[in-house]
Structure 1
Amino acid sequence: MQRTPDGGPDTFDPASVYHRVGTETDVPAVLALIDGAVRWLAEQGRTGQWGTEPQSTNPRRIAMVTGWARESGLVLACVPGDGGEQVVGALAVGAARSYVPPVNEPELYVNLLVTDRSWAGHGIGGRLLDEARRIAVDRRATLLRVDCYAGGDRALVRYYERAGFTAAEPFTIDQPGGPWPGQILSQRIS
């Protein structure tokens, strides 16, 4: 596959994207995706979500991604690349985090969705959300939930709404740099 100067695909066959379960050996690739998103957000002046520092050196973030891999909750979107595969997106699913109000029904929670920004516009995030829906059905969950940063212009909230989620409870997490506004969104699984 040929690449453009920004590293994205020059020609793209959507059928070339495949999903696989991520393992602990994939943790550096997932952290690299997150670092790329942090850089992209910072370039846009949108530092409220993940700040400006690389997450690949953050022990808390490393432990979270490693935990998802150990629990088999990590799914990678990959494309064939020169000499192997290229990880272009990551999804982590499982139980809701401790700050999320519980529900009284079987659910699957999206704990992470991140894509390689050079592949923006190719539906990688949507494909990973489709995979989350498939996993939810397999696990007999009736609800799929996610939370995201709700500050600034709420672009991430709108992304999930376009993907079929409905905004539910807003929340705030107190952090050293100030309050972090979040939004829980949900989607019924049938």
Structure 2
Amino acid sequence: MSPPHHFSLRAASLTESDSSFIISAFDASLPYLETIGSLAQWGSTPFSQRPGWVEETQQQLQEPKRNHIADMTNSLRVFVLEAELVEQGIGRKDMEGLHSRVDDDGRRFVLVGFAFVRGNWFPGYLPAVTVAQAWPLQVEDCLYIEVMVSDARTKDLFRGVGAALIQEVRDYGRARGKKILYLDGWAGNERKLVRYYERQGFHEVAGFSLPRSQKEPWVGSLMRLTI
């Protein structure tokens, strides 16, 4: 068991390094999901091989900058979670395939996860009846984690990445006067992901089902956490 690590959250930059990390972490999630019986959550085709996906993701990474220029403070924010590398026992072989950076003080950080977070927003794919159950809070009081990924390649070195991501986003929301953090998760595979979010303090608002062409419906759960 690896020791506790110091995690920190920062806004994703427009550098090739952050873009490459986010794309590769999406891809790395699929083999891991397969090992736990959850491949149906996102399918087996690597994200980077899906038509138009890389271009769409890179455009999303540009969105926070455009929103900042337009003073749209409650739109998309992309955050990267890092762990400071201080253990002497982690060698070069352990770091193969991982993304890291060195700051101006010479400290080394490993990129371990990311989150796309939106304010004043609910995803359009949610059924209206599901969103209706999220009220009576005003949407201005809410943050929504659109997607959150812990880099599966780092799980043997850094534990608690998902919990740290949630806590950091929660702190971000609290500092901005938000009251509720929402997300939705896949409810297949015996609701393993839903139970994980419940262990992080989320409560289920409502379940939902989304039709898919020539596939079983995608079943999910809308969840909320008091900030």
Report TM bin, short chain.
0.7 to 0.9
Q: Structure 1 residue 86: deviation in Å?
A: 2.8
Deviation at 1:65, TM superposition (A): 6.1
User: In the TM superposition, what is the alpha-carbon distance from 1:57 to its structure 2 partner?
Assistant: 2.6
Unpaired segments ≥5 residues, structure 2: 65-75, 86-91, 93-99, 102-108
Aligned equivalent of 1:77, options 66, 74, 81: 81
Deviates more, 1:128-137 or 1:24-33: 24-33
CA RMSD of aligned residues (A): 2.4
Match of 1:98 in 2: 124
1:114 maps onto 2:114 in alignment: no
Shift of residue 139, structure 1, vs aligned partner: 2.5
Q: Aligned partners of 2:177 and 2:14: how far apart in 1?
A: 26
Show the counterpart of 1:51.
43
Post-superposition shift, 1:182? 0.6
1:56 CA displacement: 2.0
CA shift in 2, pair 1:183/1:62, >3 Å: farther
Write the letter of the residue equivalent to 1:20: R
Equivalent residue, structure 1, for 2:111: 87
Give the TM-score of the pair, scaled to structure 1.
0.82
Structure 2 matches for 1:21-60, cutoff 5 A? Answer: 21-25=11-15, 26-58=18-50, 59-60=52-53
Bigger radius of gyration among the two? 2
Looking at structure 1, the residues matched to 168 and 200 of structure 2 have their Cα atoms a distance apart, in angstroms, of: 13
Aligned counterpart in structure 2 of residue 67 of structure 1, from 56, 60, 63: 60
SS state at 2:123 partner = coil
For 1:39 and 1:92, locate their aligned partners in 2 and report how far apart those are by CA, in whole Å.
Answer: 21
Give the 3 Å change call, closer, same or farther, for CA 154–11 of structure 1 in structure 2. closer
CA distance, structure 2, for counterparts of residue 42 and residue 49 of structure 1:
9
Structure 1, unaligned stretches of length 5 or more?
Answer: 1-9
Aligned position for 1:155: 192
SS at match of 1:96: coil
1:142-167 residue CA offsets vs partner (Å, 9 max, x unmatched): 11101010012111000100000001
The alignment partner of 1:48 has SS state of helix
| Alpha-carbon distance, 1:173 to partner | 1.3
Pick closer, same or farther for the CA change 1:22–1:186 going to 2, 3 Å.
same
Conserved 8 A contact 2:12-2:78: yes
